[in-house]
Amino acid sequence: MSERILILLLFVLITLSGCDIFDTRQAEIPSTPRVNLEPATTPEIAVNNLSAAFREKNIQAYISVFADSSNTGKNFSFTASSGSELKYGGIFNEWGIQSEERYYTNLSAANGESGFLQMTATDLQTISFGDSSYINMNYEISVQNTGQSNISGFSGGLQLKMIKDKNSLWRIFSVTDIKSSESLTWSDLKGINY
């Protein structure tokens, strides 16, 4: 009986040596591109990180600029530009971080790998005190190949409310979109891609 076990063991070893089971495999390329965001030690860096996440079409980087109630005590909220609440069937009534993630995922997918996303922030006016900060700014968002429409430009004003998280990094917990011209706003972009 020990001869049978020895033959079986020898057969298993020969079989395994023919397979590449013990060889190291080559590293896989990550499916999601990585964006090295600068730690948001100032409110302005948080805005720059938002722009970088747009450019790189990276959902993890995008969501990371917003407040998480587990480490800030604040839930994220978005207030749409005037007229957008009715235009898009009330989707903004209960808008939270999950809605933000859904919109951005749809936008990135519709935009495709070769598409272009860019958010430019201008005229930042920052008021900070303690662990809170308020930013008023103008923005322009450029989108190419949305797959949803031929519209490529969105602009307006934003009022951002920020708070420091447990790591003393700035996170956006409230966004108010302000229509400042006849052009479509970020709220429209969200409504189109929700």
Q: Domain boundaries in the chain?
A: 39-192
**DSSP conformational letter for 146:** -
pLDDT digits (tens, 9 = 90+) for 28-86: 444 545 567 999 999 999 999 999 999 999 999 999 999 989 989 999 999 999 989 88
pLDDT digits (tens, 9 = 90+) for 91-113: 999 999 999 999 999 998 888 88
Record the tokens describing residue 63, joined without a space. 């969501």
- Choose among 159, 157, 161, 154: nearest CA to 186: 154
**CATH number for the domain formed by residue range(s) 39-192:** 3.10.450.50
Record the tokens describing residue 159, joined without a space. 């009022």
Do 154 and 186 form a contact (C-beta atoms < 8 A)? yes
Q: Which residues pair with 163 in a beta bridge?
A: 132, 171
